[in-house]
Amino acid sequence: MKILTVADTECGELLDPVKGGPPLAGIDLILGCGDLAPEYLTTLRNRFEVPLYYVLGNHDLRHHHSPPQYCTPIHRRIVNFNNLGIIGFSGSRWYNGSANQYTEKQMAGYIGKMRFGIWKNRGIDIVIAHAPPRFINDAEDPCHRGFRSYRRLIDKYRPSYFLHGHIHTLFDDDNQRITTINNTSVINCYGFYVLEI
């Protein structure tokens, strides 16, 4: 299975492969990790004609009024796709009180309220979030610190993948995106990344 993950910046080569982007045949699913215009998500969904699940980033202010078409928000929800349990969490750490910002206590509470759903689903395979876990791919300024509760989620439920955006980093090699914690691959999806399972 090939999963296209996107976050934070629009990549023209995904919309027009003639521009010299990588060949992206056989994409089965798209996962959006936040801070992308609803029109961009709609266009990706239409170009690849596969399901698209997404969470909101701290700069996503229009999605409630003009949501992306035929795309599914999964903030604090679990969905299943081809026997994969996928859970989503929107937003970043609170830093100025704008939309889609949460305190550590709020996010820990959201995760706690998902316990029954995770148990009923017999675990989760993929977490998509906008922010990273604390001290894994994050930064030290108040806006870009990750959530400690995400690290506890990884330790407790051991998903195969934790996908996030929010940290704007250019990578020379896709292996630089990935940090392994226990058996979980934490992947910075800035721009785009193709996950093959």
Domain map (residue ranges) of the chain: 2-196
**Which contacts of 148-155 are long-range, i.e. CB under 8 A and separated by 24 or more positions?**
148/104, 148/108, 149/104, 149/107, 149/108, 149/111, 150/89, 150/107, 150/111, 151/181, 152/108, 152/111, 153/111, 153/127, 154/127, 154/181, 154/182, 154/184, 154/186, 155/182
Predicted model pTM: 0.95
Provide the CATH number for the domain formed by 2-196 in this structure: 3.60.21.10
Q: Walk along the chain (197 residues) and give the pLDDT tens digit of each residue.
A: 999 999 999 988 787 765 555 567 899 999 999 999 999 999 999 999 999 999 999 999 898 889 999 999 999 999 999 999 999 999 999 999 899 999 999 999 999 999 999 999 999 999 999 999 999 999 999 999 999 999 999 999 999 999 999 999 989 899 999 999 999 999 999 999 999 99
